[in-house]
Structure 1
Amino acid sequence: MTQTRRIDHWQDPNAPKPTSRKPSASVLVRDVHDRLLLLRRPDNDLWTIPTGGLKKNETITECGIRECREETGVLIEIIGLVGVFTTPDHVIEYVKGGEVDEVRQPVNVCLHARPVGGELTTTDEASAVLWVDPADLAGYEIHPAVRRRIDHGLSATEPHID
């Protein structure tokens, strides 16, 4: 099976031009100790929050809940909106078998959530999963587009809209 490699570009004038825009949900999950749920992506080795593409016949809330369970083993409930993130500064290049398969400009709806069950587990989409104190985030390599969602979710009272 051919491995797909993900390359995230941020404010890069030399990034390839997008070939698609796809909606996705991400979730900023905080536990009772105010720690943030992070996972490490095996396709680019960066830390991130649970995120994934919206499927047909699925709401954005259902997508966020499903992606979190699939990627981390944690069951969540959605409690609010972090924001809608659509900046053209973020482009994702997917390379399969040495060839560019897709270049995506994301349309992400980031949701606030809290855990209601499950337990941390690694998956094909997460080589590591852990709870992190927000004060320790600087010690984790997080893409600027994802860090933008996290920072807004941790500090703002109103949803962000690009």
Structure 2
Amino acid sequence: MAMARGTRRIDHWQDPNAPKPTSRKTSASVFVLDDEGRLLMLRRVDNDLWTIPTGGVKKGETVGQAGARECHEETGLHVEVTGLVGVFSTPEHVIVYMHGDKVDEVRQPINICLRARVVGGEVRPDPSEAAEVRWVPPSELGDYPIHPALRMRIEHGLAGDEPYVS
């Protein structure tokens, strides 16, 4: 999801003092491994945390189209959806979007995390969304600052079990 310049994001996790949500929106994320088993990751510009490609589902597109579009916009890579990691909708995750000192939105997200594979393109981060893009070996994920809600998606993706539903 492209954010306006100057917008920042604050994620709350299992925080009883988090603000109450004002919206509930669906997003799609893609879990992409390369042939060496490394995970496609990007560092967000709005909170400086590492994540997998993720963004809002727009009117007129499917969840799969949204995941593929967001991956291309954020990383420069074209992907094909191959399966489902899971549906993540826990109310324990609340996102506050701020512009300056003003709260624009407090969102309780619903994320549908898809498995995908690269079918083209080249790594070219969009500087408005991704400070950098990397292929990260799973053994090194502990070295990266990743929000717990995203870490949960990654762990389920790596486990390769049945799709997760929360």
TM-score normalised over the length of structure 1: 0.98
**1-structure distance, mates of 2:89, 2:62:** 18
Question: How far apart, CA to CA, are the structure 2 residues paired with 1:153 and 1:161?
Answer: 13
Per-residue deviation, residues 45-92 of structure 1 (Å, max 9, x unmatched)? 000000000000000000000000000001101110000000001000
CA distance in 1, matches of 2:129, 2:32: 17
Aligned-partner SS, 1:12: coil
> Quick check: 1:2–1:97 contact (8 Å CA) kept in 2?
no
Code of the residue aligned with 1:83 in structure 2: it is: G
The aligned residue for residue 20 of structure 2 is 17
Partner of 1:55: 58
Are the equivalent residues in 2 in contact too, given 1:40–1:126 (CA < 8 A)?
yes
Of 71, 77, 80, the residue aligned with 1:74 is: 77
8 Å CA contact 1:52–1:63 kept in 2: the answer is yes
1:117 maps to 120
Q: Which runs of 5+ in 2 are unaligned?
A: none
Distance (whole Å) between structure 2 residues aligned to residue 73 and residue 2 of structure 1: 20
Deviations 1:12-37 (A, max 9, x none): 11110000000000000111111100
Greater CA drift, 73-82 or 1-10? 1-10
RMSD of aligned alpha carbons = 0.9
Q: In the alignment, which residue of structure 2 is the partner of 1:87?
A: 90
Q: C-alpha separation between the residues in 2 aligned to 1:23 and 1:73?
A: 22
Give the secondary-structure state (helix, strand or coil) at the position aligned to 2:130: coil
| Matching of residue 40 in structure 1 with residue 43 in structure 2 | yes
Cα distance in 1 for partners of 2:37, 2:121 equals: 18
Match for residue 139 of structure 2?
A: 135
| TM superposition outliers: structure 1 runs of 4+ over 2 Å | none
Q: Give the stretch that moved more between structures: 2-11 or 34-43.
A: 2-11
Alpha-carbon distance in 1 for matches of 2:42, 2:73 = 12
Cross-structure match for 1:145: 149
1:161 aligns with 2:165: yes
- Unaligned 5+ runs, structure 1: none
Instruction: Please state whether the residue corresponding to 1:5 is helix, strand or coil.
Output: strand
- C-alpha separation in 2, matches of 1:33 and 1:67: 23
- State whether structure 2 residue 37 is matched by structure 1 residue 28: no
* Counterpart secondary structure, 1:145: helix
Residue in 2 that maps onto 1:106: 109
